[in-house]
Structure 1
C-alpha cells in the first residue's frame, strides 16, 4: 500500500460563495471518479485558493459531501505570484492505494488546464 498524491485545480468566474463551493465539489468528484477512490481511501485533502477568492472556505464544500465528514481537511492561500492564474482553487488529495504514481489521474478543469497542459488528457480537458 502506498500513499499517493492526486493534484487538481479549477477556476471560477466570480468571487462568490456558491461558485467556489460548486467548483470545489465538481473538482473533487472528478478526482474521485477518475481515480476510483472513496472517502475511506483518503488520508487528507489540502485545499488552496488564490488571494482574489475570499468569499468562503472551499473546504466547506467537501464537508457537505456524504461520507467526507471525517476526512482531514486544510485550507490555505496561494502565494500571490505576479502573473499567476487568477480565481483558482487547487486540491491535493492524498490517498492510500495499490496504484503506481503513473496511474494516478490528475484533474485540471476549466481555465486551470493551462497549469498543466501535459496532463490535459481526457480527464483534464473538462
Structure 2
C-alpha cells in the first residue's frame, strides 16, 4: 500500500453556492469512481478556488453532499495569475492505494480540461 496524490479541477458557470457545491460533488465523485476508490482510501483532500468564487467552501460538498465526515479537508484561495482560468476549483486528493502511479487518473472537467491537455483521462 502506498499514498498517492490525485489531481483534478473543474469550473462553475456562476459564483453561486449551489453551482460550487454541485460541480465539486461531480468532480470528487468522478475521481472516486474512475479510480475505484472507497471512502476509507482517502487520506485528505485539499481544495483551491479562484478569487472570483466566494459563496461556499468546496469542502462543504464533500461533507454535506457526499457524507464524508472523517476525511481531513482544507480550502485555500488560488494564487491569482493574470489571464488564468476563471471560476475554477482545483483539488488534490491523497489516497492510500495498491494502484500503480501510472494507473491513476487525474480528472479535469468543464473548462478546466484546458489546464492539463497532456493528461489522458478515462471517460
Tell me the TM-score normalized by structure 1: 0.93
Q: Contact between 1:39 and 1:67, CA under 8 Å: does it hold in 2? A: no
Could you say what secondary structure the match of 1:99 adopts? coil
Alignment of 1:1-126 (within 5 A): 1-123=1-123
Q: Contact between 2:21 and 2:61, CA under 8 Å: does it hold in 1? A: yes
Closer/same/farther in 2, CA of residues 66 and 89 from structure 1, 3 Å limit:
closer
Gaps of 5+ in 2: none
CA distance in 1, matches of 2:53, 2:116: 21
Distance apart, 1:67 and its partner CA: 4.5
Q: Deviations over 1:27-79 (max 9, x none)?
A: 00000000000110000000110000001111100001445100000001100
Segments of 4+ in structure 1 off by > 3 A?
A: 120-123
Gaps of 5+ in 1: none
| Aligned length, in residue pairs | 123
Tell me the TM-score normalized by structure 2: 0.96
Distance apart, 1:120 and its partner CA: 4.5
